[in-house]
């Protein structure tokens, strides 16, 4: 084997890890490249969403299930962390951990009845849970602040340093996002990931292979809810203000749109889909007035033309053209 072949073999063998390190290096230098806090704020929002989207992609893309209520878990994480820090003066890190544990337990209780359902019945059940949570956030104004929301949420601190500006929060939130991205990539290749892939294809066949379908679906559902909770807690401490409008069923559909655009079962696609949807309003100034309509049109278009998602679809088209070019040559 020549030195060139050894290098190519090494790159193929470790391409995922090297790509993660390249992304981490780019993000390390990004605050200097961005030049202003506004750009960093958008980047931070992408990271916050990405954490929830990766968890949702594990549930939808790998387990083959559907959830139209994931914004509820983001909201539980945000409100839980905010309330514990504001009213009980709890350390934000302790509050985030406590809320994540509580959300995991709540998701487990929700999973017991709902994951027995499938198809549009499961979608409606998760949608109903989102509506219930949003109603509580809106109506229980003595605790949640109601439609006015909660303000004065304390920022996070690390080693006695308050993370109170966009540059500091950039390094914190993207560190979490990179860890979650790596977790998603490794989980997809693990025994659980393979089991989920089998469940997504055919639950009966998966059971015949000895896979405990109910346990596998419950595990990934709880994991996705915990990641959504983490996303919500970081959102609350980043912007120091939350209100129920950030956790509606339309926000749940927005998360699903990010997953579908990037590609079902594609962790790297989650990064692409999240970035595209977050950046879209910056290029289309009329976007806010028609946001839900545009999201719907994008979702339908991708499902019709590239059902495997933009990243996976364009990659497959490129491979087909390259193979066709080789054959013609």
Q: Which residue has the higher pLDDT, 61 or 318?
A: 61
Residue 302 near residue 261 (C-beta atoms within 8 A): yes
Instruction: Provide, rounded to the nearest whole percent, the portion of the chain with pLDDT above 70.
Output: 86
Q: Identify which of 223, 236, 180, 179 has the alpha carbon closest to the alpha carbon of residue 45.
A: 236
Tokens of 18: 């090297």
Q: pLDDT averaged over the chain?
A: 84
pLDDT of the residue at 19: 83
Residue 90 zone, left/alpha/beta (φ > 0; ψ -120 to 50; rest): beta
Rg (CA), the chain: 21
- Tens-place pLDDT, residues 29-67: 888 888 788 889 899 999 999 999 999 999 988 888 888
pTM, full prediction:
0.89
Q: How many CB atoms lie within 10 A of CB 96?
A: 24
- Tens-place pLDDT, residues 295-305: 677 777 776 76
Q: For the chain, list the domains and their CATH numbers.
A: 33-283+291-328 (1.10.3470)
| CA 275/CA 53 separation, integer angstroms | 11
Secondary structure of residue 161 in the 3-state scheme: strand
pLDDT of the residue at 303: 67
CA 99 to chain CA mean position, Å = 18
| CA 151/CA 82 separation, integer angstroms | 9
Residue 138 pLDDT more than 70?
A: yes
| CA 82/CA 52 separation, integer angstroms | 18
Confidence band (pLDDT; 50, 70, 90) for 13? low
Residue 185 near residue 31 (C-beta atoms within 8 A): no
């Amino acid at each position: 084997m020549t030195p060139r072949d050894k290098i190519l073999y090494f790159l193929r063998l470790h391409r995922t890890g090297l790509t993660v390190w390249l992304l981490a290096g780019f993000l390390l230098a990004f605050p200097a490249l961005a030049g202003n806090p506004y750009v960093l704020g958008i980047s931070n929002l992408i990271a916050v969403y990405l954490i929830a989207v990766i968890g949702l992609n594990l549930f939808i893309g790998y387990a083959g299930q559907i959830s139209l209520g994931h914004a509820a878990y983001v909201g539980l994480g945000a409100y839980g962390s905010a309330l514990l820090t504001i009213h009980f003066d709890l350390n934000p890190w302790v509050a985030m951990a406590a809320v994540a544990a509580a959300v995991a337990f709540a998701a487990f209780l929700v999973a017991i009845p709902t994951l027995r359902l499938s198809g549009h019945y499961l979608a409606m059940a998760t949608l109903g849970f989102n509506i219930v949570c949003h109603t509580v956030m809106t109506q229980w104004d003595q605790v949640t602040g109601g439609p006015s929301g909660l303000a004065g949420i304390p920022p996070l601190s690390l080693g006695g340093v308050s993370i109170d500006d966009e540059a500091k929060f950039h390094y914190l939130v993207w560190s979490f996002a990179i860890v979650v991205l790596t977790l998603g990539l490794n989980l997809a290749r693990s025994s659980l990931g393979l089991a989920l892939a089998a469940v997504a294809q055919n639950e009966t066949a998966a059971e015949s292979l000895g896979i405990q379908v109910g346990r596998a679906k419950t595990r990934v559902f709880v994991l996705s809810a915990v990641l959504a909770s983490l996303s919500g807690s970081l959102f609350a401490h980043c912007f120091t203000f939350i209100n129920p409008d950030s956790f509606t069923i339309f926000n749940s559909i927005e998360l699903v749109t990010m997953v579908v655009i990037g590609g079902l079962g594609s962790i790297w696609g989650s990064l692409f889909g999240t970035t595209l949807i977050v950046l879209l309003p910056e290029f289309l100034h009329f976007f806010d007035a028609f946001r839900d309509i545009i999201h719907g049109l994008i979702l339908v278009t991708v499902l019709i033309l590239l059902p495997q998602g933009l990243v996976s679809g364009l990659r497959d088209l490129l491979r087909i053209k390259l193979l066709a070019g080789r054959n013609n040559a």
